[in-house]
Structures are given as structure tokens and as C-alpha cells.
Amino acid sequence: MKARTSSFRDLVHGTISAPESRYSVTGHTTPQDGPDSASNEKRNKLLSSLMSQYLARDVPAIQRQIVNHVEYTLARTRYNFDNFGAYQATALSVRDRLIESWNDTQQYFTERDVKRVYYLSLEFLMGRYLTNALMNIGIHNQFTDALTGIGFKMEDIATEERDPGLGNGGLGRLAACFMDSLATLNYPAWGYGIRYKYGMFEQRIHNGHQIEIPDYWLTYGNPWEIERLDVTYPVRFYGHVESTGHGFKLTGGEIVRAVAYDSPIPGYDTYNTLNLRLWSAQPAKEFDLTSFSRGDYYGAVSAKEASEKISSVLYPNDSTDAGKELRLKQQFFFVSATLQDVLRRFKKVSRPLTELHTKVAIQLNDTHPTIGVVELMRLLMDVEGMGWTASWETVKKVFSYTNHTVLPEALEKWSVSLMVKLLPRHMQIIFEINRRHLEETARKYPNDGHKLQRMSIIEDGHPKMVRMAQLAVVGSHTVNGVAAIHSGLVSTRLFPDFAKDGYRILNMTNGVTPRRWVQQANPSLSAIISRWIETDEWVVNFDLAKGLEQYVNNADLQREFAESKLENKKRLAATIKKVSGVEVNCNALFDIQIKRIHEYKRQLLNIIGVIVRYNKIKKMSPEERKGVVPKVVVIGGKAAASYVQAKHFIRLINGVSDVVNNDSEIGDLLKVFFLPNYNVTLAETIIPANDVSQHISTAGMEASGTSNMKFVMNGGLIVGTMDGANIEIREEVGEENMFVFGLHTPEIDHARNQLKYGEYKVRDDRLSEAMNQIQSNMYCGSDSSGPIMNSLQPYNDYYLVTRDFSSYMDAMDRIDEAFKDKTAWIKKTIVSVARMGKFSSDRTIREYAEQIWDIEATPFIPGSISYKS
């Protein structure tokens, strides 16, 4: 069990006194030179006294603080004190409390001179802050009572918050779970990313098609962030390289200013509060008065507009040259600002830069931040004056790299010509890194030109490309995959030459935070777990949920699980009714697939299975239909704006939904819904309602997946292939509590060749009928049905939808039979929840801390720091 090092909950609930002072001043003030040292010490003591107490947490005090923010921060009166104003004031009041512990935590880390980990990610899919923060710091009930006392409901206030548009899928949500675990486990850490003005996009559905509109999530500001106008760094693009006689420097070009925006990340049941620092792009020169004076009004603000594009949209469409350039600009912008910030913090204490790795660990979350390897080389050599050898050894000790995919298109490559244009000095450094890397490789493997080609960072061709994944491997001390099977593929398929050459490749199976995904998303299940294992410590040690298993045959526990599931289904049913106007049977089997829309995730297989089920029911007699298990199918996810085939899948799903849901003959036996604009908040409603969830990727293509973990933690069963973390979930919960189907990874290549060359014919009348219906435009027009049908032809079925179809339908039949025995089904869900301890992100973060980052937990205790000027 995780040892709790503070009396945080006791303080919150009033069982111990609040600390007399947050700061200890005796003998700890920073010495100052010159005649002002006495006045500085007096100033420090005064400030310490003024800042000594944490804000009161009783209900009347909270009400005063909320109302004060309404009047003094928002400048509102009681006549326009509406739900949104109440949300803003409540959020600011909670943020005040976070800032207290946040400032103290950072000061504590500084005084202890700890080693920090810096988590670099292009996405942070945080979800709503309010409820999560209140639960983590233990004052949810007090704030609920305070709001009730002034005429507001917490549930109404919470819905006023918009999801931050800072991520798209599993990559960003993993980063958010990791930040929660890092704070909860008291590890010194910072998250770094981009403050996107519009996020990716808001998904709307019009006539069955996905429509993208800007995600104006910042329209009314973000009360959780603090704008740091005093923390800015210049980031230079283009320009040209000049020799200084003893090195090189980049001059000219375009300079963009990176401005920091900080958001506090509270740990659960601890004083420690970490920081998520996001960068916003602003022009170095705000306004060109000369251009304006001569009548060039657009030219006067052109630099501002060009700069701000960098942090406007997550994943701009990179199908054009301009889009590729903007995407690379984004990546360099945020890593350059981050590394300048990291070096500034390190240099506060006088020590050689060759010791950077003793205080700094940098984790690259996927390939996007890899240009940071080169930027740190540039900073160490061109700015700090270090030599190549010392700089390179330092860089390799600092960086580690998480690979999240074996898909070739996700292993970023940039053309050499684009790199030379946008980052000329960095391209020089990349060439030199590659030259030295290949020389060393050639010494080990003489006369093996093919190996050199495979291991080269530069890919020959027209045009020549920079392989960013290779650069990440060469520039890091450790590479890790995110599930056992994926890490094996990283070693054997993705980087086999590097693995054989001794590069360190580890497995770190992903996890999710039970604070967000059980405690917050599923209050009824949370109460059941706490009641039956007689402790709520499972929130920080999910292994304790194992205690449920001893009661699996207890009728009361079974009844409570069933009641909780029904309550969650009713909540989702209300959302479905609001979106679609259709009422659903909450006693039906809820079958859910929510994830980004991609061919390898095989939403197409799912919806073809739905068509087959529809056809089967249509052919039944009324008597036969009495034995059918009613099913509600929910699918959600966004297709990238430029991913045309994924958009066709969305059109098909919506077309099937229209046909099925409007067929009165079918009634409640089958309903199909595509829920638009999938995000964290929607997931918190969908996931607890699942009876079964679909994780059906083509084997060998899903790195891990984390939604599979969330679904099972919330009392659902998986239908899935042996891919990603499904394999490890099966090992934990038992194959009898999953519905496994499909080819396994070693069989995939052979199966593709069989289909491609006509050596294997798929013969299943159900599939043929469904394909004929699609082709006849029964569900969507030819503009979508044509491309879909083309992808299902044997020579094009790369993702093996047709090959796995019969096995998939067998699994669907097994699910139906299992669901008919309600008691046996509930037992399966209880056992599954009880055995999911391995998949807490707390376990994952401990493994990173011990095996990769070499950092130690540093719990802050009030009264243990000095106030430093």
C-alpha cells in the first residue's frame, strides 16, 4: 500500500489544526549582498507572515470567497449572478487553494534541489478540472454545501465548464493520467505542451457526415490557468547560420515569442501540486507602426497573425506543404521554449552543465517532440559553449523516448529541404549526429551497407527525409513501448537493428488513473468498492479492489453491482435522448466503441456486424424475436480532418443508425447511435454504462489502448483481438471474462498475402449480404459506399476486416448467450473490476520513476520550507 506521508485529509476535515505557518523563516532567508540585506530579511519575514495561512475550508468561508470573486474578480452583481458566473467564481476559489500548495510544492522542490522529470507532449487531454480538483484536495462536499447554500447545484455548475481543447485521443489522455499520478505519488515533475487556442475541432454531424468547426474552448477564458507574462522565450525560425570562429550561431529569420500559461495539477490526498506549463505563440514585435503609417494595414499585423497560427490548432492538416511546415513549427516552438525554461531552472544553482542529467529527465511522449534532441544540442553548443562530445553525452543521458505506434505514417519524417528552410542550424546538427552514428555503426558492422541504410537517420530518396523516430532512439538513453506485445514489436519490427546493437528498449504498460475514471466518473461503483473492502484507499492503490473477489458469490454485492450499472445506463440513456431524441431500453446490452476513427481500429467491422444483426432480426418470426438479447450500440470518435476514409465510416455508421432506429418492426431489439464530439466529459458518461466494449484492432497494430482499461475498471467486459493491452488484461482478469476473437499477430502477414493473391476466399453469406446492401447505397450514398466497398476487396483488405469477420460474429454470439445469465454476467464484472490493479497509472509511473527517470518521491509537508526572495 502506498504510504501517505501527510495528514492532508485530516487537515481538510478539521481533525487536526492547520499549520501555524506555511513557511519557516528562522535561519533560512536567502543571504543578500550589500547594505540592503537587513531590509530584505525584514521583507521576507513580513511576506512570510502575510502568506502564512492556508485559506479556510469551512462552508461560510468558501461562500464568502465565491461571492468575493463574483464581485471583485468578475465585477458582477447579485442581479447577474448566473450559473456560469457561479462556475467561474467557484473555479477561481478552488484555484486559489491550488495555488497555495502549488507555490509551496515548487519552492520545496527548489530548496531540496531535487531531480525533476519533464514530460513533453503535444497533447494533454485534461477534461474538466473542477470536480477532479475538488475530489483530489478533499473538499468536494464543502463546496457542494457552499453552493447549495447560495442557491446553486454543484452538478449544474460543473456542466458550465468546457473541456480544454488540448488533445484528441489516447496520447493526450495518457499524458493527463500521468500528470495526476505524478502529483499523487509526490514525484517532482512538470508537464509541457502547447496552449491551443482552438483545439483540434468540434465535431458536428450533418446529413450523416462529419463537419469540423473551430473548438472555441477559450471563448470565455480559462479560470484554471495563470498567464505568465514574465516567463517568455524567443524561438527563431528560418534565418542563416554564421560561423563565430569558435562555433556557430543562427541569425536573421523570424522570431516568435513563447509565453507561458500555467495550470496547477493537484495530487490526491497530498499537499503536492504540480505544474502543467503550456506555451502560447505571440509575435516578438506586436505591431508594425511603419507599415501602418504608410497605409499597409494588413502588413502592420501580419507578423502577429503568422506567429499566432503556431498555437492556434492542434494537428493542422499536414496534407499540404504549408500544413507540414506549420506542424513542424509547432513541434519546434514548444520544445525550444521548454528546453530554454529547463536550462534556466537548472542554472539557478551553480554546477556544470555536464551534470544536467543528475537534475533533469526529459520524456518524449511519442515522436512529436523529438526535435528537442537537436535543440538541446544547439543550446549546449552554440549558446553555452560546450563541445560536441560533452554535449552529446549529456543529451543522451537526459532524454528518453516513448513510442506509441508501429504505424509507418505515425513515425514522423520531415523532408531535408523543409528542415533546411525552417531550421537550418538544426539540419546541420542532424547531419553531424547521423555521420557520427553511422561511422560508429560501420566500425561494428563493416561492409554491411544495408544495415547502415536501415539505421540511418536520413532516408535516401526523392526527397531525402529525416526519420524522427530513428533520431529519438539514437538521442535517448531508453526507449519504451506501452504494452508487452507492442514493446516486443518495437524491438523486433520497428527498431530491430538498434535492439540487436544493444540500445535499451523496455516495456512500460500504460495505465489510467482511478481517481478520474472510477471515483469521479462512477460514484455509485466507487461507493460499492469502498463499502465492501472497508476502505477508500483503493483510490490510491487499486490493487486493494482485489478484496471484492472474495464476495463474488454474495447476492447483495451482485445486486449492488447490477443497480449501479442500471443507474449509469440511465445516465447515458438521457444523453442519447438529448442528442438523438430516441429513448432506449436500459435493460438492453450496452455495446460501446469509442476511440478515434481509424481503419486499423476497425469501426467498419463493428458496423458491418450491426448490419448482420439487423438482417438476422428482420428475418425472424415474432416468436423467434422473443429470444433476442436487446442491444444498444454506441460508437463515438473523431476522424482527422484530412482522413477521408475514416469520414466515410462515420457516414456509414450514421446511415445504419437512421435505418435501424426508424424501423418500427425492430423496436427496442436494436438501436444504433453515433455520439458526436467525443471528449473526456462524454467518456465519463459513456464508459460506466458499458456492458461490453469493443477493442477490435487488427492484431499487431494497437500499441496499447487505455480505454480498454477504463471500461473494465467500470464493470464491463471486453470483446477484442489479442492486441495491445488486451493481452495483459486477459492475463489478469482471465480469458473466461473476455470475448477474444481474430487472428494473432504472427498470423497477420500471411493472412494479408493469402487475401491479396487469392489464396484464401472469405465465404460467409452474412458478410456478402451486408456488403451487397452497402454497395446498393441502402445506408449511404455512393460517394461513401464506393470507397468502403473498395477497401473490403481481397486485394485491398489490409486491415483484414473480412478475414476476421466470422470469428468476430462468433464472439458476438457468445456475448449474447453469456448476457442471458444475469447472475453469471455480474460475477464476471465483479471479478474483472477486482483484478484490474495492474492498470492503474500509479503503477506505470512508479516503473518509469524507478527504471527510466531515476527520480524519488518528494512529499511536501507544510512548515518545512523557507521563504526565498
The catalytic site residues sit at: 404, 595-596, 601, 706, 710
Q: What are the cell numbers at 61?
A: 468561508
Sequence-distant (≥ 6) Cβ neighbours of residue 565 within 8 angstroms: 688, 689, 691, 715, 829
- 425 burial (CB, 10 Å; 0-12 / 13-18 / 19+) is buried
Q: Are 807 and 741 in contact (CB under 8 A)?
A: yes
Nearest to 714 by CA among 679, 686, 676: 686
Distance CA 79, CA 372 (A): 51
What letters, b where the CB count within 10 A reaches 16 and e where it falls short, cover 111-132?
Answer: eeeebbbbbbbbbbbbbbbbbb
Q: What are phi and psi of 522, to 5 degrees?
A: -140, 70
Q: Are 135 and 519 in contact (CB under 8 A)?
A: yes
Q: Are 708 and 720 in contact (CB under 8 A)?
A: yes
Q: What are the cell numbers at 650?
A: 462515420
Cα within 13 Å of Cα(708), Cβ side = 29
Q: Are 62 and 90 in contact (CB under 8 A)?
A: no
Sign of the Cα pseudo-torsion (588, 742, 644, 332, in order): positive
Please tell me whether residue 584 adopts helix, strand or coil conformation. Answer: coil
Secondary structure of 670-683 as H, E, C letters:
EEEEEECCCCHHHH
Q: Are 839 and 511 in contact (CB under 8 A)?
A: yes
Distance CA 351, CA 319 (A): 46
Helical spans, DSSP H, in 53-208: 59-68, 83-112, 130-137, 140-149, 154-158, 170-184
Nearest to 671 by CA among 643, 624, 633: 633
Q: How far is CA 472 from the centre of its chain?
A: 20
Nearest to 489 by CA among 407, 412, 410, 413: 407
Is the omega angle on the peptide bond into residue 463 within 30 degrees of 0, that is, cis? yes
Q: Are 95 and 227 in contact (CB under 8 A)?
A: no
Q: What are the cell numbers at 260?
A: 507561458
Determine how many CB atoms are found less than 10 A away from the CB of residue 384: 13
DSSP E strand stretches across 286-412: 360-365, 399-402
Sign of the Cα pseudo-torsion (692, 697, 700, 704, in order): negative
DSSP 385: -
Distance CA 702, CA 719 (A): 15
